Amino acid sequence: MRKVSEIIRRLKQAYPNVRTGLKHSNPFELLVATILSAQCTDERVNLVTSKLFQKYRKPEDYLAVSQEELAQDIRSINFFNNKARNIQKTAKKIIENFGGEVPKTMEELLTLDGVARKTANVVLGDAFGIASGIVVDTHVARVSQRLKLTENKAPEKIEKDLMQVIPREYWIEFSHWLINHGRKVCQARKPKCNECFLSDLCPSAKS
């Protein structure tokens, strides 16, 4: 599909060397950060994890405190009680079922609490370089809909549509490109169509 190839070419040129905005130093930290990032900004998560990852360095550390203490440590993040519970359950499963290591398959990651396809795709792509799918967040959904790469609204269906038109070699980078583009140019309320290098390829661009 020529249009998709040109979209990829331009995005690649505009946003080279992209990666997740969540700060981490190992796969488990990225998993925790991604669980925390649900309905929360990367900036807020990074602010919290800068202290959190000094206190908790491995799965066992999260089980050495009460759920209440962990919840207090992440209190400024949305749904902190639920997320504290999910992180502790996930830490327990990683120790008991996966030898203390974050699993490297979609099927295994989906057995962890607080982990759906989006979180699993982030971890597989950014921690392990495994292209198992395409991360669909609000930016990816919005930009791909405006570019008419999908007509769907549900993240799982959007992901399936994108996986059919985007070559697998770009699955990991593609979501980062759209996230960057969604933040900087194709914003939710006031897209900067007159500044957009994709406007001539975009059916939604304002004339």
Determine the Cα–Cα distance for residues 121 and 14; give it in Å rounded to an integer.
23
Helix (H) or strand (E) holding 23: none
Measured from the Cβ of residue 122, the count of other Cβ atoms closer than 10 Å reads 24
Which residue numbers are catalytic?
Answer: 118, 137
Q: For 27, which DSSP code?
A: H
Q: In the structure encoding, which two tokens stand for residue 63, read together?
A: 């089980």
Contact call for residues 171 and 163 (beta carbons, < 8 A): yes
Q: Contact at 8 Å (CB) between 94 and 101?
A: yes
- Give the three-class secondary structure for 70: helix
